[in-house]
Structure 1
Amino acid sequence: MATIHDVAERAGVSIKTVSRVLNGGTEVSEKTRTRIEQAMRSLEFTPSAAARMLRGRPTGLVAVIAEKLTTTPDSSEIIKGIQLVCEQLGKVMLIGETGGHADVANRLVADMRERRVEAILFATPFHREVTVEPLLGSTPTALANCFEAPSRYTQVVPDDEGGGYAAAQIVLQADHRDIAFLQLIPGMVATGLRLRGFERAMREHGVTPNPDWLIHGAEAGDADEFSHLADAVDRLFASDNRPTAILCGNDKMAMRVIFILQRRGLRVPADVSIVGFDDFRLISEALDPGLTTVALPYREIGELSGRHVLEQSSAPATTIRVPCVPVMRGTVAAPSASAVQAMQAMKAKR
């Protein structure tokens, strides 16, 4: 690798003169400057980041400390959002993957600070609470898709409660009243928030949720989080009192529910309407009909967290909730006349 000494020798000048050019000094003649720049190009010389640090100049480096984010296809959009901001602002993004281990995260933070990064972003694949170790000093920091309590840094998270409300509104506005909700893993932040939004939408429409239809379609601890999903669907259809619409905790669950219903001889959406969550397009756009869902704003979360930490780092810490918006496709329709009549007859008997 060429050094500053090699450049000075090739250009026929002193090391001090080359240093002046590197530091943007104006006391070097244009002819000499051109000769030095030509020498740099011919030697493929690049001033080191360490040298820029010593001169007190910004490194242009931005660190992302990711927790299993690079291996999670749908939420990797967060990285794309941060990268877009870095490209627009002329920054270089460095990614450190923790694998979910706190000790690895601490080592990565120390390493990134040693490299004099201009900002650090912490990002997780799903909405959750994190603990950020106090090793950041004065480095501007933001959290993407995660939060601290109490918060010390700006944190950008999805509006999961609003997303649960939007999912319920999709089927309520299609005149469904017999609505089941197959939820995500118990204890997840998103699970509780989406249920709260679902219940708010149901109250506004004067509909009382059937507690037997509020089931967790995913479970923690299994190699396959949906290993009990078929049993959950069977519970919904165990009697003549059946839902005409099912909300699912994510698009992967919705896809499996559609396949389970098809094996039972039920049509989507003619017999049962289905709504997913995420808008994971490898699924939502590949299904036939396309999956009606609520989009998780991963890319927007990445962009907003990146812009805040790089453009508004001196602003007070705040929590930004990004809307989860409905995406209408083909798995929701009004309840069929036969289904409505059957439900009405059963309710009259009760």
Structure 2
Amino acid sequence: MARSARTEVTMWQVADRAGVSQATVSLVLNNVGGSRVTDATRDRVMDAVQELGYRTNAFAKSLRSGESGMIGFISDEVASSPFAGQLLKGAQMLAWETGNVILSVDTFNDPELEAAAIDMMLSYRVKGVVYASMYHRVLDVPAGLESIPSVVVNAQDRVGKVASVFPDEELGGYVATRQLIDAGHTRIAMINIQPVISDLPAGIGRMAGYRRALAEAGIAENPALVRYGTGIVEDGLAITRELLSGADRPTAIFCGNDRTAWGSYRALESMGLRVPEDCSIVGFDNHEMLAPYLDPGLTTIELPYEQMARTAVELLLAGDERAATAYPIECRLIPRGSVANAKVHV
């Protein structure tokens, strides 16, 4: 036999159970300030709510207050990307902690879908919109977001009208290189993840951090140890073979991402060499499906996806989305077994 549909409990029933008026129940549930409801009456109402299983009508409440309790999350492919899924997680967690929910849409870089998503967010009266990118880039914020509080995440607004929350790539590159310097290495190569002419902030910042760490340590940059790939495993493999085939080969390599580092591991293995005994390796990303499972585990820099999203939601809820334009978030070092002291190298 099919189960009967659950009968919705009404505010009138709560009032009857608590022995108060419907207006009093409304005052309690909406936490109206300045009302003369006593603590004892409030307790009776809340006991009745629990006993009857009453749920407020969030839609009706949003019509009255003009607020939905929702925060929009519009992204290109973040929500469907395992690599950057922590962005959405960070937004969801803080939203939940503050009594809000996330309304998320992936647009897959389709302008028409993006425009429709923005219209939907506006129709649902979201408190604000997190506009997220799958990779760190400079972008143009859609005109449709001008009428609603918005924060850009994992990217930077080209004109700086709204706050941008993004990884501190330069600090990450600095910390990665510093880890190798502190282990005694002076011949440190870098394999970047984009061509020298690229304007993407990730490679530019990581290279700047590498150079700053060398300069601070008094180590002259060797142009022969600076190479440019495209962030794929095959580039790490080929470039590392070239670097280690030279007469003055590096004792350590800072790879611009973890996939490049995986290629470096493969290159060493193909040449009969070992990480970190023959060459120390540091990556960037802390790719959860890769970095911990290399042998040895890869020392790397973690992109702060969750913290970036939490910061964006905090800015929206505090009304600070236009108070400043740039919020670089620190990238944390994750030490594992791929770095050894330079003195152990042959």
Given the alignment of the two structures, is residue 274 of structure 1 paired with residue 281 of structure 2, yes or no?
Answer: yes
Residues 322-337 of structure 1 mapped to structure 2, 5 A cutoff: 322-336=329-343
The CA deviation string for residues 181-213 of structure 1, in whole angstroms up to 9 with x for no partner, is 111123221101111111111112222222222
| TM-score where L is the length of structure 2 | 0.82
Structure-to-structure mapping, 1:254-273, within 5 angstroms: 254-273=261-280
The match for 2:304 among 294, 297, 300 is 297
Q: CA deviation at 1:110?
A: 1.0
Q: What is the one-letter code of the residue matched to 1:166? A: V
Counterpart in the other structure of 1:47: 57
1:170 aligns with 2:182: no
Contact 1:270/1:336, CA 8 A, preserved across alignment: no
Match of 1:253 in 2: 260
Identity of aligned residues (%): 29
Q: 1:189 aligns with which of 178, 195, 201?
A: 201
Following TM superposition, by how much is the alpha carbon of 1:12 offset from its aligned partner in structure 2, in angstroms? 12
Cα RMSD of the aligned pairs, angstroms, is: 3.2
Note if contact 1:7-1:18 (Cα within 8 Å) is conserved in structure 2. no
Which residue number corresponds to residue 127 of structure 2? Answer: 118
- Establish whether residue 202 from structure 1 lines up as the match of residue 220 from structure 2: no
How far apart are 1:315 and its partner, in Å?
5.8
- Runs of 5+ in structure 1 lacking a partner? 220-224, 340-350
Asked if 2 retains the 8 angstrom alpha-carbon contact of 1:271 and 1:336, the reply is: no
CA distance in 2, matches of 1:148, 1:191: 18
Q: 1:264 to 1:314 in 2, by over 3 A?
A: closer
- The alpha carbon displacement at 1:160 in A equals 0.3
Which residue, out of 66, 71, 81, partners 2:90? Answer: 81
**8 Å contact 1:271–1:335 — kept in the other structure?**
no
Query: 1:19 offset after TM fit, Å?
Result: 8.8
Relative distance call for 1:331 and 1:90 in structure 2 (3 A) is same
Distance 1:312 1:46, change over 3 A: closer
Q: Is the 8 A contact 2:150 2:321 kept in 1?
A: no
Show CA shifts across 1:265-316 (max 9, x none). 1111000000011122332222232211112111111111111111234761
Deviations 1:221-259 (A, max 9, x none): xxxx44443322222123222111111111222123212
The answer for the alignment partner of 1:217 in structure 2 is 229
Specify whether residues 310 and 213 from structure 1 end up closer, same or farther in structure 2 by C-alpha distance, changes over 3 A only.
same
Residue deviations 1:52-107 (CA, integer Å, cap 9, x gap)? 34313421011100121123223211111111110110101111001122332221
With normalisation by structure 1, the TM-score equals 0.81
Cα separation, 2, equivalents of 1:19 and 1:235? 78
3-state SS, counterpart of residue 172 of structure 1: helix
The aligned residue for residue 315 of structure 2 is 308
SS in 1 for 2:67: coil
SS at match of 2:83: coil
Letter in 2 for 1:157: F
Q: Which runs of 4+ in 1 moved over 6 A?
A: 1-4, 8-13, 17-20, 25-28
User: Which segments of 5 or more consecutive residues in structure 2 lack a partner in the other structure?
Assistant: none
Q: Please give the secondary structure, in 2, of the residue aligned with 1:320.
A: strand
Matched residues in 2 for 1:104 and 1:60: separation? 23
Pair 1:107–1:239, CA change in 2 (3 A):
same
Match of 1:318 among 325, 335, 339: 325
Once residues 315 and 222 of structure 2 are traced to their aligned partners in structure 1, the CA distance between those partners, rounded to angstroms, is 42
- Aligned pairs (5 A) from 1:64-79: 64-79=73-88
Contact 2:237/2:260 (CA < 8 Å) preserved in 1? no
CA distance in 2, matches of 1:12, 1:326: 56
What is the distance in 1 between the residues matched to 2:36 and 2:309? Answer: 43
Is the alpha carbon distance of 1:45 and 1:87 closer, same or farther for their aligned partners in structure 2, counting shifts above 3 Å? closer
